[in-house]
Amino acid sequence: MKKKVLISTGGSGGHIIPATILYEHLKNNFELFLTSDKRGTKYINKNIYNYKLIEMPRISKNIFKFPYILFFLIFSFFKSYFFMKKNNIQILFSTGGYMSLPLCLSAKLLKIKIYLFEPNTVIGRLNKFFLKFSEKIICYSKNLRNFPIEHKNKIFFIEPLLRKQIYEENKNFENKIKKPFRILIIGGSQGAEFFDSKISDLIIEINKVYKISLIQQITDEKIKNTVKEKYKAADIQNEIFSFDEEIFKKYNQIDLAITRSGASTISELAFFNIPFLAIPLPTSKDNHQFYNAKEYFDNKLCWIVKQSDFNKENLTEFILKLIQDPNDYLQKKNNLAKFSYQNTWNNINQKLLNLLNEN
């Protein structure tokens, strides 16, 4: 009889996408269940994944919201507890975030094995709290910041989780600068207002010197037409989108990405050997986006600019120099190819199955 495994997720695409990838890796060997909060459901394909909705309100420091949050937490805990008990869950995979709290608490009381997942290079606060109750924590880095030294033995390193369709795409290994130079601007599953305005002006400046072709994520439907008109006036070929779960199909068209540094996004860019300029979200918890990018930067795979240091003139000069003297750019592409060569579906699949079958 197959073991019963629950994968809990919710919130943004950064939590949902790895959860669905875990589901695909385990579905042939385990009886699987999936839970999500309401926010996360918009990223889940309802035709593929049958999930249970377990809502959890955002944790707030507002003292007036405390009674409401406490009531909802108790309600979510009992809903989680009885769901797991009824379905005889034996293993919980938690992809982190505040929405994991009632499920991890329930699993602890029911003596269900807990496996944590941490794609960032800074351990999340709830993951850190539940670390002592877990079997292992699955990570993309062996050197997580803020990680308790006494639990180092619980780190289980794997290459970044990528959707199976990504491995089926052909990589573009051309090592040359093209004209037009193709840039992708992407702010993650929730986009980035900063990118909608500031980066658009940057692209127009670069295009005055070197022809640019552009794919850009725009979060605000109201300004899509405004941005498109700006690009039309500047004679820039462009494709604008809000959210595309198959964005990876565009990667082979790209020379350079300008991006936030959510773990899923930069893992995909690295796999396709796309050098990227990371502008981390400055409000990310514990500044984890900066440290995600820094790990790639330290391995000479990308460039980083803090949002507070953003300067249109300096960045225009930097990107034009990159295009006109491509040695640094091409070295990044070569480094990325070496960095991601071990990341295969079968390699990760075997690691995950070994992990669960050993414990």
Q: Do 91 and 186 belong together in one domain? A: no
Q: pLDDT tens, position by position, for the chain (359 residues)?
A: 899 999 999 888 788 889 999 999 999 999 999 999 888 888 888 888 888 988 876 665 666 666 767 787 888 899 999 999 999 999 999 997 778 889 999 999 999 999 999 999 999 989 999 999 999 999 999 889 999 999 999 999 999 999 999 999 877 777 788 889 999 998 765 556 778 778 888 999 999 999 999 999 887 777 888 888 899 999 999 998 887 778 888 888 899 999 999 998 999 999 999 999 999 998 888 899 999 999 999 999 999 999 999 898 999 999 999 999 999 999 999 999 999 888 999 999 999 999 998 76
Report yes or no on whether pTM surpasses 0.75: yes
Give the separation between CA 297 and CA 194, rounded to whole angstroms.
Answer: 22
Indicate if 157 and 193 belong to the same structural domain: no
* Pair (64, 179) in one structural domain: no
Residues 176 and 318 in one domain: yes
Beta bridge partners of 115: 93, 136
Q: Are residues 284 and 318 in the same domain?
A: yes
Which residue(s) pair with 32 in the sheet?
A: 5
Same domain? 237 vs 111: no
Separation between Cα atoms, residue 265 and residue 282, nearest integer Å: 16
Alpha-carbon span 292 to 267, nearest angstrom: 10
Whether 207 and 348 map to the same domain: the answer is: no
Do residues 172 and 302 share a domain? yes
Tokens 């500031």 label which residue? Answer: 198
Q: Are residues 172 and 157 in the same domain?
A: no
Measured CA distances, 351 to 7, 113, 159, 222 (Å): 17, 18, 10, 45
CATH number, domain of 322, equals 3.40.50.2000
Question: Measuring CA to CA, which residue among 194, 195, 190, 235 is closest to residue 216?
Answer: 195
**Coil, strand, or helix at residue 167?**
helix
Distance, CA of 264 to CA of 292 (rounded, Å)? 10
In sequence order, what are the beta bridge partners of 193? none
146: left (phi over 0), alpha (psi -120 to 50) or beta: left
Range of the domain at 147: 4-162+343-358
Cβ atoms of residues 220 and 193 within 8 Å:
yes
Q: How far apart are CA 232 and CA 216, in angstroms?
A: 14
Is the same domain home to 266 and 128? Answer: no
Q: Are residues 92 and 228 in the same domain?
A: no
| Gap between the terminal Cα atoms of the chain | 17
Q: Within this chain, do residues 126 and 250 fall inside the same structural domain, yes or no?
A: no
| Count: domains in the chain | 2
